[in-house]
Structure 1
Amino acid sequence: MIMQKLSRQWRKSDYDEDDKFTLPTRDDFRPIDSQEQEELVRSLEKVQTQQSLLWRAVFSGLLLCYVAFLLYSIYQQAYYPWELRYHAYFIYEVDAWTIIAADWAAILACLMTIKGLLHEANYCKRWLWSSCCIGMIVAVFWLHHMLRLARFRWDILWLPLGPLSGAGVCIYVDYLLTVSSEEVRKLRGYMYAYKAR
């Protein structure tokens, strides 16, 4: 009898201290009423919307930084040809304007990715997949010329993989955010009518 009393007191004091770190007990499995369900679902929708905006903005910002770098690269190649080391490797392989065109294609792929990522509509997903195709073309171009060099340069592997990996990562991020949004929508569909007495 004393052991049961001590056990109850211990559980109760332990539960009070670490309230947010404990699993629910049998008493916590009461159904929540309709208003509580609505508040819970609304708060989850709000959090999901904020997270979606945040992560879309973060990855779009990273791609914009890459676009700014590519614009600098184009400027350098146009006005001071072959001064950048990663372009100088191709001095005997490709003419300067072809490199500038490849950088413009990479910029186009990144901008299409940004447009597809920032707009959540289904038709905008085509922008993501189209940017992936353009990134593939840019990757094939750079890899072809990298393989023609006397020695393969691992330090410029970002040239072929930059736009393609940017598009691929953004497609994955968009997929995760869409799945999360659908899960919250499903949760709204699972709401039930209950009135607490």
Structure 2
Amino acid sequence: MKRLTRKWRRRSRDHELSLPTRDDPSLDDSRPIDTQEQEEMVRSFERSQAQQSLFWRTVFAGFLLCFVAFLIYSIFQQASSPWELRFHAYFIEDIHSWMVILADWVAVLACSMAIFGLVRNSTHRRQWLWYSCFTSIPLAVFWLYYMLRMPRFRWDVLWLPLGPLSGAGICLYVDHLLNESSEEVKKLRAYMYAYKAN
């Protein structure tokens, strides 16, 4: 009896380790899948896409939120003790303090619109991202104008004109990529076929 048990165990182990063959019907890729299997597969892709979309939107909104917090700190510093921050002090000769504060508030507004556009779950989300881009363009022109008037160009303040604009542009690009992947999943649902078993 022990010999028979050993033989049976050895055979079952060998069967588990053997390569699949074309005769195995469970491993046949060419067989059509039924409607319920298709539905489960498409639902799993939709769930995965929704989770990925939420994750990446939250990540980029978080980055912009940190930038907004830094800008608010900058506004507070400029209002309480003007020109103390080095990146504002470069412009002490050319700009009034209230203009710097106003420019920083415009940057906060542009970043807030981008955040709103990223996390909002509606069809108008893309409009908010475009509003953010359009708000950032005059701000970038403002800062670049005063940066070019300085006797020496300061590369360490290049984030002033390009920060909100690049943030809005990156958010627009991320939204575009996530919408493309969502469209691919919708196409997959449209390609589902009616399986008829013989």
TM-score by length of 2: 0.85
Deviation for aligned residue 1:119: 1.7
Report the residue type matching 1:137 in the other structure.
Answer: P
Indicate the residue corresponding to 1:61 in structure 2.
Answer: 62
Q: Gaps spanning 5+ residues in structure 2: where?
A: 1-13, 22-26
Closer, same or farther: CA 148–190 of 1 in aligned 2, 3 Å? same
Q: How far apart, in 2, do the equivalents of 1:122 and 1:62 lie?
A: 23
Counting aligned pairs with the same residue, the percent is 63
Question: CA offset at residue 13 of structure 1?
Answer: 4.2
**Which residue number corresponds to residue 74 of structure 1?**
75
**Counterpart amino acid of residue 113 in structure 1:** A
Summarize deviations over 1:129-156 as a string: whole Å, max 9, x none.
Answer: 0110111111000000000000000111
**In structure 2, the residue corresponding to 1:29 is in which secondary structure?**
coil
Structure 1 residue ranges, 4+ long, deviating more than 3 angstroms after superposition: 12-16
CA contact (8 A) 1:93 1:145 kept: yes
Q: How far does residue 118 in structure 1 lie from its aligned partner after superposition?
A: 1.1
1:136-192 C-alpha deviation (Å, 9 max, x unpaired)? 111000000000000000111101000000000000011111111111011001001
Matches of 1:173 and 1:27, distance apart in 2: 38
**1:121-132 residue pairs with structure 2 within 5 A?**
121-132=122-133
Quote the Cα distance in structure 2 between the aligned partners of 1:65 and 1:196: 56
Aligned partner of 1:152 in structure 2 is: 153
Q: Which residue of 2 aligns with 1:5?
A: none
1:14 Cα deviation from its structure 2 partner:
5.7
Larger Rg: 2
Look up the match of 1:189. Answer: 190
Equivalent-residue separation in structure 2 for 1:54 and 1:64 (angstroms): 15
Residues of 2 paired with 1:103 and 1:194: CA distance?
Answer: 60
- Counterpart of 2:112 in structure 1 is 111
Residue 93 of structure 1: CA displacement? Answer: 0.9
What's the CA shift string for 1:7-48, capped at 9, x where partnerless? xx9xx84669xxxxxxxxx94222111111000000000001
Match of 2:86 in 1: 85
* Residue 46 of structure 2: aligned partner: 45
Residue 28 of structure 1 aligns to a residue whose secondary structure is coil
Paired amino acid for 1:77: Q
TM-superposed CA distance for 1:194, in Å, is 1.1
- Taking the aligned partners of 1:13 and 1:96, their CA distance within structure 2 comes to 77
Which deviates more from structure 2 when the two are superposed, residues 28-37 or residues 153-162?
Answer: 28-37
**CA distance in structure 2 between the partners assigned to 1:179 and 1:106 by the alignment:** 29
1:163 maps to 164
- Deviation of 1:196 after TM superposition, in Å, equals 5.0
For 2:11, the equivalent position in structure 1 comes to none
Compute the displacement of 1:127 (Å). 1.0
> Which one-letter code corresponds to 2:49 in the other structure?
Q
Do the aligned partners of 1:32 and 1:196 also contact (CA within 8 Å) in 2? Answer: no
Q: How many residues align?
A: 178
